Structure 1
Amino acid sequence: MPFITTRDGTDIYYKDWGLKSGPVVTFSHGWPLSSDNWEHQMFFLSAKGYRCIAHDRRGHGRSSQPWSGNEMDTYSDDLFQLFEHLDLKDAMMVGHSTGGGEVARFVGRHGTSRVSKAVLISSVPPLMVKTATNPGGLPIEVFDGFRAGLLKDRAQFFLDIPSGPFFGFNREGAQVSQGMIQSWWLQGMTCGFNGAYDCVKALSETDFTEDLKKMDIPVLVLHGDDDQVVPIGASAQMSSKLVPKGTLKVYHGGAHGLPNTEADRVNQDLLEFLES
């Protein structure tokens, strides 16, 4: 399995699919998942001639589980080192949920010299937590509840999330996929415990406002209007206005896990944006 070792000694696992000479698309996954959650998109685009690269964030999946560095600056620096290692250029970056924050912070810290476009799917920017200047955010108690659930019974908590709000399976008439639930659970349980715990703060309390303003490339924002994890009003509707060249596309009735529940539609939207 391919790994890179970062400057602080953390091993980062990555997948590199498709033609090495093809246009590059990178994928940043959500909490507490791994690069496996992008398999539908990576297979689809690789078959279309693109080079698709996805990594397991530090503390997640097959990457190392360091005690430190589980925050957005280091996440984005790890990804930049992967770009340097593979000499990636003119890439379209795609991020889901926490991964969207990683993409925004990557651009905020490292610029767009290696990036041509970006896609934020069900993503956490500009800021998840409610503050005096962000009254539409979620109360800190929501994220305290995440941490409490991890500490009390992580295995059960990681069943409850995909069984309910993540995929919208708690909605009346929803077609529940036990396979999606079990895949989410398996990916979540491979996440290091402290990595999962620390990442809650990273995804909820990091302010990406200034990062978004620096995204001087075309940015496509995809979000479901029934997202129970990252409500659209405090995220996509604001992010799409903060980026200089943003386009918002709303999935009516869409839940948080769009790359899974709306895989075919997401695939087509990514392809159209790539080819535009």
Structure 2
Amino acid sequence: MLKTEANPGGLPLAVFDGIRASVEADRSQFFKDLPTPFYGANRPGGKLSDGVRDSFWLQGMQAGLKNALDCIKAFSETDFTEDLKKIDVPTLFIHGDDDQIVPIGASAQAAHTLVKGSQLKVYAGGDHGLPTSQKDRVNADLLAFLQSRAAS
């Protein structure tokens, strides 16, 4: 996801440095605050239950500080371009067009162009936490994709 010569649509390193600094300064608060944009709760009509927020916080805190920092480095700085080009199985990408965490252009759209024959479903107004926020739609799309593959 890092902006590089090979990935001009990526995010600047300063974005990830800011995430690392927030995690190092107060990891617990970081995982309390992140669900708001993650699930689009800061958007008009956005909703986030206490249960989902608490579950998100608990999962984040279970990672441990070193693991959280290693994860940030891995997801931001690893270039998966060549790996994606090698995928030769049916692939479905699902992404929200209002994802405030991972820009669709630098992720799902880019990956879709690299994985031959892949499908991309874009959820209008969709946030980053689609498997939770739109679980019924995600499940229906996954089942339809799998059933279409089983039939062929």
Tell me which residue corresponds to 2:29. 156
1:15-94 superposed matches below 5 A: none
* Contact 2:95-2:121 at 8 Å conserved across structures: yes
* Contact 2:3-2:9 at 8 Å conserved across structures: yes
Query: Is residue 250 of structure 1 aligned with residue 122 of structure 2?
Result: yes
Tell me which residue corresponds to 1:211. 83
Tell me which residue corresponds to 1:86. none
Counterpart of 2:18 in structure 1: which amino acid? G
* Contact 2:97-2:104 at 8 Å conserved across structures: yes
SS class of match (1:218): coil
Q: TM-score, normalised by structure 1?
A: 0.53
1:110-129 superposed matches below 5 A: 128-129=1-2
Q: TM-score, normalised by structure 2?
A: 0.94
Tell me which residue corresponds to 2:110. 238
Query: Is residue 132 of structure 1 aligned with residue 5 of structure 2?
Result: yes
Counterpart of 2:28 in structure 1: which amino acid? A
* Contact 2:31-2:60 at 8 Å conserved across structures: yes
Query: Is residue 143 of structure 1 aligned with residue 16 of structure 2?
Result: yes
Query: Is residue 167 of structure 1 aligned with residue 46 of structure 2?
Result: no
- C-alpha separation in 1, matches of 2:40 and 2:118: 26
**Runs of 5+ consecutive residues of structure 2 not aligned to the other structure:** none
Tell me which residue corresponds to 2:48. 176
Q: How many residues were matched structurally?
A: 148
> Relative contact order (alpha carbons < 8 A, sep ≥ 6): 1 or 2 greater?
2
For structure 1, which segment, 173-182 or 136-145, has the greater mean C-alpha deviation from structure 2 after superposition? Answer: 173-182
Counterpart of 2:56 in structure 1: which amino acid? W
Counterpart of 2:30 in structure 1: which amino acid? F
* Contact 2:37-2:100 at 8 Å conserved across structures: yes
- C-alpha separation in 2, matches of 1:156 and 1:236: 29
How far is the alpha carbon of 1:248 from its aligned partner? 0.6
Structure in which a larger fraction of residues adopt strand: 1
Counterpart of 2:72 in structure 1: which amino acid? V
Tell me which residue corresponds to 2:73. 201
How far is the alpha carbon of 1:237 from its aligned partner? 1.0
- Supply the RMSD in Å over aligned alpha carbons: 0.9
- C-alpha separation in 2, matches of 1:165 and 1:154: 16
Deviations 1:76-109 (A, max 9, x none): xxxxxxxxxxxxxxxxxxxxxxxxxxxxxxxxxx
Runs of 4+ in 1 over 4 A off after TM superposition: none
- C-alpha separation in 1, matches of 2:5 and 2:80: 16
